[in-house]
Chains A and B, each alone.
Chain A
Amino acid sequence: MTEPADNTVQGTVQRIERGEAFLDVRDLKVHFPTDDGVVKSVDGISFQLERGKTLGIVGESGSGKSVTSLSIMGLHKRGVAKISGQIFLDGQDLVSSTPEEVRLLRGKRMAMIFQDPLSAMHPFYTVGTQIVEAYRVHNKVSKQVARKHAIEMLDRVGIPQPDKRVDAYPHQFSGGMRQRAMIAMALSCDPDLLIADEPTTALDVTVQAQILDLIRDLQREFNSAVIIITHDLGVVAELADDIQVMYGGRAIEYGTAEDIFDNPQHPYTWGLLGSMPRIDRERTERLIPIKGTPPSLINVPKGCAFNPRCNYAHLNGGASETERPELLDIGAGHKVACHLSPKERQHAWETDIKPKL
């Protein structure tokens, strides 16, 4: 009688303790104490991600999106940063793990692609050497085997003549090729989680699409969980299943890609959408930049962090300036942190914003 119940309870407890999804981030906070005050780079983020799915994290620079990804990888500045909350990767809490345990996961179970492939690859070593190094640190194989694997990986990411290019140096590659090599390196150990931090920002527009296609194809092939970090909604539109919009170290809207694009709820998201270039519209009508500048992470504005830049803050009777809005579910997992009433939001979206997009 008791056994099934016990099982259930135990199962629940286990799920809570070890995370529900493949990647389960709970109330993650990353604070940096400095002489001027505490920099709250990430101030309470939660999200979940399953294998085979893609999460887009969107925000301006300084919104905390890169720090989030670095802290998942364990690459934040140890000793300086104060980190709290939990990051479960396949049930293992990375926050409470030792640096050495996290290192063993890095590259093997979770890998990362960086923004500028030129500076992210060591200029003095050949591309092949760098992939071989990534492979051999987690796989006890001979150099020849690793080299063969590296050529294979280069071939897989679409680099022509991989057996020759394996001996080339990063500066001898074009930007797109470098990013392909970077991806080959990140995927060399077949990771379950791939974090791509602005993977196309430093690339030509034509190459951007190729790289995004590549990431999507490889994701399908490897069935890995992918986090795409970007300030460019266009990128996530191509790839993401879910999107989290960040502002001032916190999530202000979370939803499926369809929700965010078709029915965005937060004025900041509207701003982002408004500043997204689209080829199918006339220039003059488009590009409504968000006024003002991103907030200081030491002195985040009181109340809603976005209020100084928000066109609708006056509608909330002072709540925007005094009270921080919680990230609340408005139905079907679509969450938003905004004081506007659903009615006002709907009205503004329908009348002010949507027609201009």
Chain B
Amino acid sequence: MSRKRITTAVAVAAAVALSLAACGGPKATPGGGSSAGGATAEANAAVDKNFSPSTKKGGTLRMAISEAYDSTDPGDTYYGLSWNLVRTYVRPLMTFKATPGEEGGKPVPDLAEAPGVPSDGAKTWTYKIRKGIKFEDGTPVTSKDVKYGVARSLDKATLPSGPTYFNDFLLDVPEGFSVYKDKTLAGVAKAIETPDDQTIVFHLKKPFSSFDYFAQLPSTAPVPQAKDTGAKYKEHPMATGPYKFGSYDPNKGFDLVRNENYDASTDPDSGRNALPDKYTIAYNVEGTDIDNRLIAGDLDVDLAGTGVQPETQAKVLADPKLKAHTDNVPAPRLNFTVLNTEVPPLDNVHCRKAILYAADHEGYQRAYGGPIGGDIATNLMPPSVLGSQKFDDYGFEADKNGNVEKAKDELKQCGQPNGFAINIAFRGDRNKEKAVAETLQQSLKKAGITLTTKPYPTSDYTKLYAGKPDFAKTNKLGLIVYSWGADWNDGFGFLQQIVDSRTIRATGGNTNLGVRIPEVDQLIDKAMAETDETKRNQYWVDVDKKVMEQAGVLPGIWAKGLLYRPDTVANVFTNAGQNMYDYAGIGLK
């Protein structure tokens, strides 16, 4: 333990020396090469660019998170941090390239030789798998392992956590299909074909043009059927990436060590650097403690990647030396309020527009900590989403604190000149959402709209309360405060789950909390069938515009996270795929 103390002291001394240098000397430009400590800390130095580029291998990258995330099983995980980290130990068909800037948000071939080849109007997608890729035990990877990996992820009873895109899109998969009951995989015979060991063909029930994004899901990582241990597979997923599982403890965390059967020559496109010799991931470290350890240099990465705690944020922003180590990263996340069309008078578009005009946008931003927390959103898709366009049809930026006259005008057209009363739902244990509800309550009052605040517990918010249509309707939840982060950075990944009215299920558990616009649904279908990327992106912009025109939601802010970048790390940059530091690119000084 005294070792720890000495390293701490050295690190602190080094940090002080560095920051003193930063204050006194001229600004050093981040230099290339592999030398340690070549770059001077500067705020936002790792946003969309590589800070302290390095090719130096070795060292142990120490990561920590406040609680264990859903799963380390690539077929059973739905967390951005997990999709980021999983690339170090498995190789899906496609993956987000480990590189700074917009390029990092596009899937590139990983296990596959090239992007998928569509046919049959984007209902059939074919991938060729690279030769020479092996599992950690030396067995070669075949297309059958990929097929098995996707097939096993369909069993949501055993592997409940992952996304359901393959369940929703694959052709003719019987209800309740499970690889553990149907060991010959007869149920997915029509959906996934493997004509030879290097080829895999996916058949969809409806066209889907951005299938390469599906192909980057961790569940396309190969899994040997003989090694599948179901719910226990997470304890040791078979590695194909540069690292494999060393130890695993569900209560403490796990280690990743080098996989000697990984051949970098088979991996030319993904940008993986595989710099550290080892990763250690510690679970259940208290949030403030993580921040303190990052600042002290005793931890390298906050695995969650969503930013420091509010109390730490105040501290680091107040201290220029600490602020130089921060990156204010725009996330593909929108904090917004849904206007539920099922609750009168919000079935009338003018009453919805009145809310958009009356809302205090700066107040909304303040609720999330001001400009550090994010920029005022004027439409749905955050600028970081590929192909998105920013537009401001209601003049949010001109009338930051709302426009009462226009709101009253809309109320007249709605037939409610004196305003109306309605409820606003939010997650009671989230102080920021509470602040949103309160700022809206105040600003809407000026236009005559009376809001009653209705807090609900986070754990059951979408399942039993705001996300359950009949509950929302009976309880007059006209405004529903919510937040949404894209599964990935394109129009589909961001928009489909929150504005497609066909995703709304009466049983609850919805992510679309009340946007029901037929034209939007039609535009989504067109976008999903369009294989030309430029045209497809335009359709998604049209979806965004239509939702705004119909005032389906009140956009709040496009969120940003404040990440802390310790002096210990090198080759650090944010990845446009997950909008946090790229865990496949990062190294140590």
Are A and B in contact, CB atoms below 8 Å, in the complex?
A: no
Q: What residues make up the interface of B, taking CB atoms closer than 8 Å to A?
A: none
Q: What residues make up the interface of A, taking CB atoms closer than 8 Å to B?
A: none
